């Protein structure tokens, strides 16, 4: 279990806080709006009405002991930058920030944000991946170049083992898991044959992952 602080409880921030909590992590949700705090209070570990722009407030909340902080108050560049600076000063290992523009992103990166995301942009990519291939079940982008995809195993792979398919050399991606009958097998053995209904989880460059989509 990891500890997360989510600052800003708009639609994006609240969704992040609730999902992290549902996954079993300890979550502190923070916002200046009492109504927003109240809406998530019974679904997260701690919900606090506080002004995260003040360093002494973050110190009082004990945020220096958290593994990760998510700055979801992307509407105001100045406010999100100030909160990010405070979090970095506290020494939180990972600070993830929401940005609304490329300029906003550059500002946050300059002051030390470990990751800056565009929720709409990343969701658009996932939707596009799904629309481009009906076999794609999920896509997670790590960077502009790399990602993880889960897709239905091509019918031409059935009955063959991962060793026989030699996916790494053929497609330059690595199969990191197989999902069979709802059970995820992480680091599957090379002699495991692919069966009908299996899903393959692969890691690689986006361009190589796209080639994988074309296999029938």
Q: What is the pTM of this model?
A: 0.59
- What pLDDT score was predicted for residue 53? 92
Question: Do 91 and 128 reside in the same domain of the chain?
Answer: no
140-178 per-position pLDDT tens digit: 555 556 777 788 888 899 999 999 999 888 888 888 888
Question: Do 13 and 92 reside in the same domain of the chain?
Answer: yes
Q: Are strands 146-152 and 136-141 parallel, antiparallel or unpaired?
A: antiparallel
Question: Do 31 and 44 reside in the same domain of the chain?
Answer: yes
Question: Do 52 and 22 reside in the same domain of the chain?
Answer: yes
Cα(41)–Cα(74) distance, integer angstroms: 22
CB neighbourhood size of 151 (10 A): 21
- Model confidence at 206: pLDDT above 60: yes
**Final residue in a domain of this structure, among 71, 88, 117:** 117
Residue 205, domain CATH? 3.30.70.1450
Residue 37 CB partners (closer than 8 Å, separation 6+): 9, 29, 30, 31, 47, 48, 49
Structurally, the chain folds into a number of domains equal to 2
Q: Calculate mean pLDDT across residues 78-87.
A: 92
Residue reference for tokens 């279990």: 1
Residue 92 burial by Cβ neighbours in a 10 Å radius (0-12, 13-18, 19+)? buried
Question: Do 100 and 82 reside in the same domain of the chain?
Answer: yes
Residue 130 CB partners (closer than 8 Å, separation 6+): 136, 139
- What pLDDT score was predicted for residue 150? 81
What mean pLDDT value characterizes the chain?
84
Band of pLDDT at residue 131, cut at 50, 70 and 90: very low
Boundaries of domain holding 27:
3-117
Question: Do 104 and 140 reside in the same domain of the chain?
Answer: no
Interaxial angle between packed helices 77-90 and 102-110, expressed in degrees from 0 to 180 and rounded to the nearest 10 = 20
Question: Do 110 and 128 reside in the same domain of the chain?
Answer: no
Question: Do 160 and 111 reside in the same domain of the chain?
Answer: no
94-124 per-position pLDDT tens digit: 999 988 877 888 889 888 999 988 765 555 5
Cα(196)–Cα(5) distance, integer angstroms: 42
Residue 15 burial by Cβ neighbours in a 10 Å radius (0-12, 13-18, 19+)? middle
Question: Do 7 and 113 reside in the same domain of the chain?
Answer: yes
Band of pLDDT at residue 63, cut at 50, 70 and 90: very high
Helix (H/G/I), strand (E/B), else coil: 37: helix
- What pLDDT score was predicted for residue 140? 56
Band of pLDDT at residue 136, cut at 50, 70 and 90: very low
- What pLDDT score was predicted for residue 93? 93
Question: Do 91 and 188 reside in the same domain of the chain?
Answer: no
């Amino acid at each position: 279990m990891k500890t997360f602080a989510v600052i800003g409880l708009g639609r994006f921030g609240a969704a992040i806080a609730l999902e992290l909590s549902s996954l079993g992590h300890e979550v502190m949700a923070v916002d200046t709006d009492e109504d927003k705090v109240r809406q998530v209070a019974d679904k997260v570990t701690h919900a606090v009405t506080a002004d995260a722009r003040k360093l002494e407030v973050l110190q009082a909340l004990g945020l220096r002991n958290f593994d990760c902080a998510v700055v979801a108050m992307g509407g105001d560049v100045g406010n999100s930058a100030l909160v990010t600076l405070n979090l970095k000063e506290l020494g939180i290992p990972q600070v993830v920030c929401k940005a609304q523009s490329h300029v906003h992103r550059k500002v946050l990166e300059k002051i030390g944000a470990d990751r800056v995301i565009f929720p709409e942009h990343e969701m658009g990519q996932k939707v596009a991946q799904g629309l481009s291939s009906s076999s794609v079940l999920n896509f997670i982008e790590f960077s502009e170049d790399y990602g993880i995809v889960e897709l239905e195993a091509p019918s031409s792979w059935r009955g063959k083992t991962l060793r026989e398919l030699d996916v790494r050399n053929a497609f330059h991606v690595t199969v990191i898991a197989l999902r069979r009958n709802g059970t995820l097998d992480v680091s599957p053995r090379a002699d495991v044959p692919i069966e009908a209904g299996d899903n393959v989880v692969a890691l690689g460059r986006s361009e190589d992952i796209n080639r994988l989509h074309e296999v029938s």
